[in-house]
Amino acid sequence: MSALALIMVKKGFGVSGSDNKKTIDLQFLIEQGLQLFPNQSASNIPYICRGLNTSPVVVVSSAIPKSNPELKAAQSAQLKIWHRSDLLAWLMTEQISIAVAGSHGKTTTSTFISTLFAFCGEDPTAVIGGLVPHYASNGHAGQGKFLVAEADESDGSLVKFRPHLGVITNIELDHTNHYENINSLIRTIKTFSKGCKHVLANYDCSVLRKNLKAETWWSIENKNDAHFAALPSLMNEKQTIAKIYEKNQFIGEIDLPIAGKHNLSNAIAAIAACRIEGIPFKQLQAVINKLKTPGRRFEFRGTWQGRKIIDDYAHHPTEVTATLSMAKLIANSRTNLISNHKPKILAIFQPHRYTRTKEFLADFAAALTSADLVLLTPIYEAGETPIPGINSELLAKAINLLNPKMIVKVATNLEELKIYLSRYSDIGDLVLTIGAGDITNLWKILNQNNKQPKWEQNIAA
């Protein structure tokens, strides 16, 4: 929503909005010209409409309930109401659009595409779900011919999009509050793909291979069956060197300044998208070293009492596994820059949504056992109604069933978490804060003297 607001302001539209929280992002939007209301109140609607020659369009996200007073006032005033996806779909008609969909890697892949376009002189518009380091923002109103957008599948609204190029990273069941099973998610992705003029998909995802017809495929495992392939020749905690193949022909190497096989897959997807849109490989090869992962993707935040704090958005078992795999790569590296001893990996995990925790309880437990010890916070509700019996204590029991010797603690407040951090970790250890909720604020809280006894349970943006 904030990215869309920024882009509409930059395009010259009058934009207003409301939010109950004060954040740096909102302050930035105010500085760009957005009119902000500090509360979501019915009185905001007549105030906005006053003096306008035409009625405003009201844009809402799926996080806004039908009972929201502003929404009800807009309906009573018979204003045009668009879902966030309607506005994004309209923006896609204004430029040559590239929409990145899939269960994992959307934000990183769309960030990589935007960054490569930018350094190749294309100045794209970008509508991304995370902070793009090159723009220091999740949105950018570019003057070039391309628009790069993250196509969120969580509510199924991506079926409205008609992009020039659809990039599909993978399919794995998630958002079980919306999707009954994997087949319903597959149907949604297939519907999205039919609306794309051209489809680029991940050959390494067996679900995609079996269920999707794509004109172009990429792979990090197979150069014979994919149109674009990146086969790694060196992988460590700092970089990935890979040989690039196009239509089974070797065209050169890339030195990606980012670790992890999943990030190599995201990078070759971005390269393939740029190649499809006419960017020469030599030009892409020259700027590949500019790529950085978006905010909250294995992001180093700083040091607390000698522990290195890394923050990651992972909120699905597959993502948690990838995050802990990256941590292991660092911990086991012979060129480890953290300290002279092999660090322990301490995972602080905030489960996101009751429905997701219930559906993937066993998978979360299995993923988290790859850490050396685990601290859990209460479940981040994200607007959901609690499910009786589904809580972090249940997840802790599931972890200990798999590994009875593992230390697993459920922290009920910040002071308790600080005690656990001090008691069970040492100087030089890696501490990962993992989850899509407000666990990201822990770094700031650890460095504040004031006490906050519990995490705020706010609706996720």
pLDDT of residue 452: 41
Buried b (16+ CB within 10 A) or exposed e, 117-133: bbbbebbbbbbbbbbbb
Compute the distance between CA of residue 132 and CA of residue 110 in angstroms, rounded to an integer. Answer: 9
pLDDT of residue 341: 65
Averages of pLDDT over runs of 10 residues in the chain (461 residues) are: 94 90 79 91 93 92 91 96 97 97 96 98 96 94 97 93 98 87 95 97 97 97 96 91 97 95 96 98 98 91 92 94 91 56 90 96 98 96 92 98 97 84 92 92 75 35 25
pLDDT per residue as tens digits for the range 281-293: 999 999 999 999 9
Domains in the chain, start-ordered, CATH in brackets? 2-84 (3.40.50.720), 93-290 (3.40.1190.10), 299-446 (3.90.190.20)
Of 99, 133, 143, the residue nearest 273 (C-alpha):
99
Contacts of 219 (CB under 8 A, 6+ apart): 202, 203, 204, 225, 226, 228, 229, 230, 268
**Six-digit token pair at 398?**
């599931």
* Beta carbons within 10 angstroms of residue 306's beta carbon: 11
pTM of the model: 0.85
pLDDT of residue 137: 92
Hey, which bits of 77-227 come out as E strands? 80-83, 96-101, 125-132, 137-140, 146-150, 165-168, 198-202, 216-219
Contacts of 445 (CB under 8 A, 6+ apart): 414, 452
Buried b (16+ CB within 10 A) or exposed e, 224-243: eebbbbbbeeebebeebebe
pLDDT of residue 340: 57
pLDDT of residue 413: 78
Compute the distance between CA of residue 87 and CA of residue 439 in angstroms, rounded to an integer. Answer: 30
